[in-house]
Amino acid sequence: MKISELSRRTGVPVASIKYFLRQGLLPAGRATAATLAEYGEEHAQRLRLIKALTTLGGLSIAATRDVLGAVDQAHGVEGALGAVSYALPVPGVRPEEVSEGDATAGAEVTELLATLEWQVPGTSPHVKGLTAALKELRRLDAHYAPAELAAYARLAESVARLDLERAVGIDDPVSLAERAVVVLAVCAPVFELLRRLAQEDQVRRRVADAGDAGAVSPDQRRRV
Amino acid sequence: MKISELSRRTGVPVASIKYFLRQGLLPAGRATAATLAEYGEEHAQRLRLIKALTTLGGLSIAATRDVLGAVDQAHGVEGALGAVSYALPVPGVRPEEVSEGDATAGAEVTELLATLEWQVPGTSPHVKGLTAALKELRRLDAHYAPAELAAYARLAESVARLDLERAVGIDDPVSLAERAVVVLAVCAPVFELLRRLAQEDQVRRRVADAGDAGAVSPDQRRRV
DNA sequence: CTGTGTTGGATACTTCGAGTATCCAGCTAC
DNA sequence: GTAGCTGGATACTCGAAGTATCCAACACAG
């Protein structure tokens, strides 16, 4: 199909498609002449993925390019998930801002990983990100006790198990990588929304239990 | 203290402090003369919160203003959490983009909430956000089965319980609201990072189990 | 008392990301 | 054969988030 049809079918303006081509997010069509190229279904699919990443995932063009690059090179479950996981930024975390002199937070992360018996390389950007985040929490006087952190980590483990369930049974590498992107970029907001709703529900229950006072007394904390 | 000292103590440039004053993020100092104002410790604290929200939370100035406004008006656990929860955007979700004709996703959310017996008002922005996100997942051919969604929701419930544990025992309304902000804006990335690390760990284990093949066979899915 | 230097306030400017719009020459399809 | 796309390049717009400049009013050290 021509670019105009691609535009019509995906709802993306022609100028934007050209922009994505320029930015290397979308592979060029098969040129049939000096001023004509043919686009296929894979271009439409890629455009939909780009839209999902930038709108739902909230990614910048540069981040999207990195993720798509990882998708293109990935093969196999571990390759796809790993590449995408590393390329996909965690909102609100800038790993590059981790200085080296963060002894306390760094040790905290190392210890946590040891306690959990998680097998992750110390070079993972997520380790650096976690170190940065914990450091910031400490600076804000809101740091987690190791036990609290471990409790969250156990829940995160359960969530990750669910995540991976969704990846099995997909054979096509490209589909797999794209599914990985969706799981990471789009499902994270879903979980966050569920968390917020659960918070709302629990606050509501506690208020109902406590009557008009609105306070949460210790003996009611476990009733939910 | 004068603005220059406030700048020195927080590391925020004077020009930026003026910018935040202009934008209504920071209350004006107590004017001691036409060209002189006195700033207190609360200004420094507020500046630190602003920095945390914009950098770690990744919030825009406008969103930060909303959150701070909610913080200033909140009192009590439910007020603080509610106001902040509503004001704090979920990265990657634009609730205003939910059209009205989303029968399938809307019903899905309603049904989920009923199943979970969560008490949340249908007017909550998170309900709209969740509807939008599920709709997008469906469009991407990656929608959750109701049972999967419920499984995630149960985990979210556990996480929310941990979240609220951190809010009890704080009496000062302002501290409480600020803690709510930190829990929502800063801890969400922490959990996301833990989730990513857990994914890494599990992929690694599965690969180890499966040998060089790298594939995940059905009979190994449950071994982790 | 005087002049150096800071302050608040206003306004203008810069930078960056993310598109849009315009232009142009070549080609296609009616 | 010509009207109208097309690819490719370049220029423009727009908003967000600061920065920088300017100015009159004042503080306060000597």
Domain assignment present for B4? no
Model confidence band, residue A54 (pLDDT cutoffs 50, 70, 90) = confident
**Is strand D in 7 Å reach of the CB of A22?**
yes
**Is strand C in 7 Å reach of the CB of A19?**
yes
Whether the pLDDT of residue B220 is over 80: the answer is no
Model confidence band, residue A31 (pLDDT cutoffs 50, 70, 90) = confident
Structure tokens at B98: 């939910």
- Residue A58 is predicted with a pLDDT of 80
- Residue B123 is predicted with a pLDDT of 86
**Does an H or E element contain A32, and which?**
strand A30-33
Average pLDDT rounded to a whole number, residues B184-200: 88
Structure tokens at B167: 């809010």
- Residue A26 is predicted with a pLDDT of 95
- Identity of the residue numbered B132: A
Q: Whose CA is closest to A185, among A88, A118, A107?
A: A88
Q: Would an 8 Å CB–CB cutoff place B81 in contact with chain A? A: yes
**Is strand D in 7 Å reach of the CB of A61?**
no
Cβ within 8 Å, pair B77-A192: no
Model confidence band, residue B216 (pLDDT cutoffs 50, 70, 90) = very low
- Residue A56 is predicted with a pLDDT of 73
User: Cβ–Cβ contacts within 10 Å for residue A213, how many?
Assistant: 9
Whether the pLDDT of residue B136 is over 90: the answer is no
Cβ within 8 Å, pair A94-B55: yes
Average pLDDT rounded to a whole number, residues A114-118: 95
CB contact at 8 A, A97 and A127: no
Domain assignment present for A195? yes
The residue ranking higher by pLDDT, A137 or A220, is A137
User: Cβ–Cβ contacts within 10 Å for residue B3, how many?
Assistant: 17
- Residue B109 is predicted with a pLDDT of 92
Q: How many domains does chain B have?
A: 1
Domain assignment present for B200? yes
Domain residues for B69? 57-220
Model confidence band, residue A220 (pLDDT cutoffs 50, 70, 90) = very low
Average pLDDT along chain B = 83
Domain assignment present for B72? yes
Q: In a 10 Å sphere around its CB, with 0-12 CB exposed, 13-18 middle and 19+ buried, how is residue B218 labelled? A: exposed
**Is strand C in 7 Å reach of the CB of A18?**
yes
- Residue B222 is predicted with a pLDDT of 40
Q: Would an 8 Å CB–CB cutoff place A56 in contact with chain B? A: yes
Average pLDDT rounded to a whole number, residues B52-73: 86
The residue ranking higher by pLDDT, B185 or A129, is A129
Model confidence band, residue A84 (pLDDT cutoffs 50, 70, 90) = confident
Please report, rounded to a whole number, the percentage of residues in chain A having pLDDT higher than 70: 86
Phi, psi of A11 (to 5 degrees): 75, 10
Facing residue for A200 by CB, picked from B90, B120, B214: B120
d(CA B173, CA A76): 51
Q: Quick: pLDDT tens for B153-182.
A: 999 999 999 988 887 777 776 677 777 877
- Residue A184 is predicted with a pLDDT of 80
Chain A residues with beta carbon closer than 8 angstroms to that of B142: 166, 179, 182-183, 186
Whether the pLDDT of residue B65 is over 80: the answer is yes
Structure tokens at B82: 């509610």
Domain assignment present for A36? no
Whether the pLDDT of residue B121 is over 50: the answer is yes
Q: Quick: pLDDT tens for B95-106.
A: 555 555 567 778
Domain assignment present for B195? yes
Domain assignment present for A2? no
Nucleotides of C under 7 A from a protein CB: 6-11, 17-22, 25-28
Domain assignment present for B159? yes
**From A7-11, B7-11, B184-188, the region with the lowest mean pLDDT:** B184-188
